[in-house]
Structure 1
Amino acid sequence: MHLGIDLGTSGVKAVLIDDSQALIAQATAPLEVHRPHPLWSEQDPEDWWTATISAIADLKSAHPQAMAAVRAIGLSGQMHGATLLDRNDRVLRPAILWNDGRSGAECAELERRAPSLRAVTGNRAMPGFTAPKLLWVAAHEPDVFAATAKVLLPKDYLRLRMTGDHASDLSDSAGTLWLDVGARAWSPAMLEATGLSESHMPRLFEGSQPTGTLRPDIAAAWGVPPGTLVAAGAGDNAAGAVGVGVVAPGTAFLSLGTSGVLFVSGDRFAPNPERGVHAFCHALPGRWHQMSVILSAAASLTFAARLTGCADEATLLREAEDHPPDIGSLVFLPYLSGERTPHNDPAAKGVVFGLTHDTSRGALARAVLEGVAFALRDGLDALEEAGTSVGRLLVIGGGARSALWGRILASALDRPLDYPAGAEVGPAFGAARLARLAETGEDPETVCRPLPVRAGIDPDPALAEAMSRRHRLFRRLYGDLKDTFRDSNDA
């Protein structure tokens, strides 16, 4: 048995898989995001640990024998979060999350201090990344910065509680802007640019390597054997790729979670920072990947359901399904938390354009689905401008449950979509696969096989034509509003 734990933004998921990689059980525990000020997004690391204990307790209660047979544990988690610890490993402040936009000015300062940033890290400085957050803390909370002895990513805080080790994997660490992504090592120059050194960082491992063993008291409480290995694991997107078998160069997936991600696996470091494309290490040795990222995918649907008083997202999707494809000039810009690819614009805002007295909730829901699809198309274009070829896309994440969204996405992206069986388990399944690799040392290609495809959706030319005018309007609106977004933050 192998256990995978995924620390997401909205909850912690734990899964058990057997030696045939069949899913034995899963459990989840919810989390909340706190937004005390505009652009801020934070969570208390203690809540992560409490949710993890809750999810594991559910597995232990329902499947004690399976838990007693666990041989290794893998970790996956939301990327980029800044978890600041003092010399006694006490949390100094709430963790600043991946979708926090407060450090826009610090991004410009970081690029000024480190002119080689883009060449070394393969990325532009964006507020979501970890390093600019530390510059913000240094400027606005100097006592906290001075007391900071270690900076951990979210899943690695769980590891610390589980094993006592300060350790991380390369895929997650590539999202900090402190890693030399091509060399797969910490960059002294990038650390120095934020007033830190390698002593503030965890030790680095490939995702399929063990980093330590579970503490005896935790093993006893969880009902797993003493000495259970803990694998380095991966950032959530790399773990999701391992879970669905996107490890061979050129394979790709689309993730429709809180954020939206286009992920392409490769065998070399291939950055395109000018267009906001992320170039990171993959979770396996000798592999890298590229990503285009939008910050609000399924989160946009959640927002629309709350805004319109709809019971839940599923009800809103049904109303969108019932509405004809023609929604006139109704366009939604999904920049609720700013945007990454291709705009790198933390000041961008969500916009609904084209409202009339006749606009229905179903039409608005359909505009939201289209707006996310259009934003992902912008990201796809940025990937291809860098010479990355993207063919068929596997679709994972909570948004993959909507066939309507699939038809809209396939038509907007002009790509066929494949829906793998079992993909709803997500990054936690990839974390469990990495746990197995850490324990057995098997060939990753053998373990990380693609999941069987349960359904496919091809582009619909008629639907693409129906959306084409709104797609053009979508792009024009951002260009027209870009300066206004920025000025409104200063008003």
Structure 2
Amino acid sequence: MTAPVVLGIDLATSAARVVAVDADSGAQLGFLGAPLHNRDAASGTAARQRPDYPAVVRRLLSDTVAALGPRAADIAALSVTGTSGTVVPLGADGAPVGDAVLYNDMSAGDFAARLDAAGYPAGPGSVAARLAMLAQLPGVARLAFTPDVVLGDLAGGPVPSDTSHALKAGIDPQLRSWPAGLTESGLVPAGLLGPLMHPGRRVGSVADEVAAALALPAGVALVSGMTDGCGAQIAAGAVDVGDTMGVLGTTLVIKGVADARVESADGAVYSHYAPDGHWWPGGASNSGAGVLAGTVAQRELAALDTAAAELGPARSLRYPLPGVGERFPVADAAMTDWAVGTPTTAVEAHRSVLEGVAFVERLGLERLAALGVRLGEHRIVGGATRSSTWNRIRATVLGRPVRLVGAAGSGHGAAALAAATLLEVPLAELTRRWAGIPTIVHPDLDQIAALDASYRSWCEALQQHSALAAAH
């Protein structure tokens, strides 16, 4: 008898992906992707996406079934992961009535001010402000997150929001409750907020008519998911107390595992409630590989990486940011990209970005440690780990070996969550079963001292630049 097949659906910043995995072994059986379409913003504060998630995912599922051939009959469960804090307004029929407002949208400043005036503190880039803004749209019947839209379409009706994607709305993830202050503000009616469910719980099945249209088996289980950062954490196997990880893609996510909830007063550090009752503290920086996307052509990256490795530590320092605002390891809505010193060549400029993101990672881990999070093995995952130069710089800045985990995308983590629920096994046990052999990335011993000195200078400069940004 063949093992069940589970699917992980990843709704990323610019693409949707479906990964098919053997539930017993963790072997990847298929992977397909398709672009998602971001709107051209009229201002630098707006970040919107065309909300055609159901149509895109249906096409991918249909193609996945065709690609799997006979194994498609073994598909038994799926889960969905998406970017944290992206909100979609839905009508009474479950279809979107406006664009998705992305995690980095800063256009809800007026509604943040109105929430503040009503006694519910919220920043212009907060999920609460986005919810308040979208609640005013004509025809809106529910405010949802991207996985809700896809799961609801597959189920043929609404499903609960998982507490992971809803976390930054200020919910209590353990009690599964929305914040009273948000609904009492008068800007976000309670009727627009759906029920909440912990991650890793069955919330329904693919509707019969949808299964027939996509050639899926009957009764495929729909499992409540977690955010893309958490999905990557699951895929990397960083689910035991003391494990930490850095997910480097468009942005940088730093996460750990703790017995108790860990949060910071400024909101930069927050904790997801894990399926097994542990807490996953961490934060998401706006810094990351996305900074390179707008300045360096893909074909030039490999050559720049090679030259940057040969160059050694940069003489200039940089905090790489793609726009206005930073979330973690500092929470500063006004901070922008800054540099100390001017690179003399394009190679040094590139190297300063690689080092700057690595400095953000180290500061993020140090901040978690200061809050009581135990730091053990550190894993690195994400699309940017294709750069061996960047991996080596990250290990050198941290001053210790790191574990590079293969096949550790967010979609793979969503598939693992679906498999653990389907097979009724603890998530930690399943991730150990699925784990491959990681690549150990060692630091460059000849550069540790120089990069440590650069990091300390960078931290001093950060204090000054963050204070200046806050003053303005």
Measured after TM superposition, the shift of residue 462 of structure 1 is: 3.4
2:128 alignment partner, SS class: helix
Q: Aligned pair count?
A: 464
Measured after TM superposition, the shift of residue 220 of structure 1 is: 2.0
Residue 88 in structure 1 maps to residue 81 in structure 2: no
Measured after TM superposition, the shift of residue 255 of structure 1 is: 0.5
TM value normalised by structure 2 = 0.90
Does structure 2 conserve the Cα–Cα contact (< 8 Å) formed by 1:126 and 1:340?
no
**Cα separation, partners in 2 of 1:174 and 1:222, compared to 1, 3 Å:** same
Measured after TM superposition, the shift of residue 197 of structure 1 is: 4.2
Map Cα deviations across residues 387-432 of structure 1 (whole Å, 9 max, x no partner). 1122221111011222221221122233431112322xx1111211
Q: Which of 439, 447, 454 is the aligned partner of 2:422? A: 439
Q: Which of 244, 263, 269 is the aligned partner of 1:271? A: 263
**Cα separation, partners in 2 of 1:36 and 1:161, compared to 1, 3 Å:** farther
Residue 292 in structure 1 maps to residue 275 in structure 2: no
Does structure 1 conserve the Cα–Cα contact (< 8 Å) formed by 2:54 and 2:150?
yes
Instruction: Please give the residue correspondences for 1:123-142 in structure 2 after superposition, counting only pairs within 5 Å.
Output: 125-137=122-134, 142=136
Does structure 1 conserve the Cα–Cα contact (< 8 Å) formed by 2:132 and 2:188?
no
Map Cα deviations across residues 337-366 of structure 1 (whole Å, 9 max, x no partner). 52101332222222344235xx22221111
Q: Which of 18, 21, 29 is the aligned partner of 2:34? A: 29
Q: Which whole-Å CA distance do the structure 1 matches of 2:267 and 2:422 have between them?
A: 39
State the Cα RMSD in Å. Answer: 2.6
Deviation larger for 273-282 or 285-294:
273-282
Deviation larger for 224-233 or 341-350:
341-350
Does structure 2 conserve the Cα–Cα contact (< 8 Å) formed by 1:45 and 1:91?
yes
Q: Which whole-Å CA distance do the structure 2 matches of 1:318 and 1:194 have between them?
A: 56
Q: Which whole-Å CA distance do the structure 1 matches of 2:221 and 2:267 have between them?
A: 40
Q: Which whole-Å CA distance do the structure 2 matches of 1:475 and 1:107 have between them?
A: 30
Partner of 1:362: 347
Does structure 2 conserve the Cα–Cα contact (< 8 Å) formed by 1:292 and 1:341?
yes
Q: Which of 325, 329, 332 is the aligned partner of 1:345? A: 332
Deviation larger for 365-374 or 293-302:
293-302
Partner of 1:121: none
Amino acid at match of 1:53: R
Does structure 1 conserve the Cα–Cα contact (< 8 Å) formed by 2:14 and 2:35?
yes
Q: Which whole-Å CA distance do the structure 2 matches of 1:210 and 1:354 have between them?
A: 53
Q: Which of 64, 71, 81 is the aligned partner of 1:66? A: 71
Measured after TM superposition, the shift of residue 112 of structure 1 is: 5.9
Partner of 2:165: 172
Q: Which of 10, 13, 16 is the aligned partner of 1:9? A: 13
2:299 alignment partner, SS class: coil
Q: Which whole-Å CA distance do the structure 2 matches of 1:259 and 1:5 have between them?
A: 19
Does structure 1 conserve the Cα–Cα contact (< 8 Å) formed by 2:134 and 2:143?
no
2:169 alignment partner, SS class: coil
Q: Which whole-Å CA distance do the structure 1 matches of 2:353 and 2:384 have between them?
A: 12
Does structure 2 conserve the Cα–Cα contact (< 8 Å) formed by 1:292 and 1:380?
no
Q: Which whole-Å CA distance do the structure 2 matches of 1:317 and 1:32 have between them?
A: 29
Measured after TM superposition, the shift of residue 334 of structure 1 is: 2.7
2:70 alignment partner, SS class: helix
Residue 372 in structure 1 maps to residue 357 in structure 2: yes
Measured after TM superposition, the shift of residue 476 of structure 1 is: 4.0
**Cα separation, partners in 2 of 1:58 and 1:319, compared to 1, 3 Å:** farther
2:390 alignment partner, SS class: helix
Amino acid at match of 2:20: L
Q: Which whole-Å CA distance do the structure 2 matches of 1:304 and 1:137 have between them?
A: 33
Residue 39 in structure 1 maps to residue 26 in structure 2: no
Instruction: Please give the residue correspondences for 1:219-234 in structure 2 after superposition, counting only pairs within 5 Å.
Output: 219-234=211-226
Partner of 1:331: 318
Amino acid at match of 2:45: L
Q: Which whole-Å CA distance do the structure 1 matches of 2:34 and 2:448 have between them?
A: 39
Measured after TM superposition, the shift of residue 17 of structure 1 is: 1.0
Partner of 1:99: 104
Partner of 1:464: 448
2:446 alignment partner, SS class: helix
Deviation larger for 237-246 or 8-17:
237-246
2:277 alignment partner, SS class: coil
Residue 381 in structure 1 maps to residue 366 in structure 2: yes
Measured after TM superposition, the shift of residue 96 of structure 1 is: 0.9
Q: Which whole-Å CA distance do the structure 2 matches of 1:209 and 1:182 have between them?
A: 14
- Unaligned 5+ segments in structure 2 are none
TM value normalised by structure 1 = 0.86
Q: Which whole-Å CA distance do the structure 2 matches of 1:316 and 1:259 have between them?
A: 20
**Cα separation, partners in 2 of 1:195 and 1:104, compared to 1, 3 Å:** closer
Instruction: Please give the residue correspondences for 1:300-311 in structure 2 after superposition, counting only pairs within 5 Å.
Output: 300-306=291-297, 311=299
Deviation larger for 479-488 or 346-355:
479-488
Measured after TM superposition, the shift of residue 378 of structure 1 is: 2.4
Partner of 1:122: none
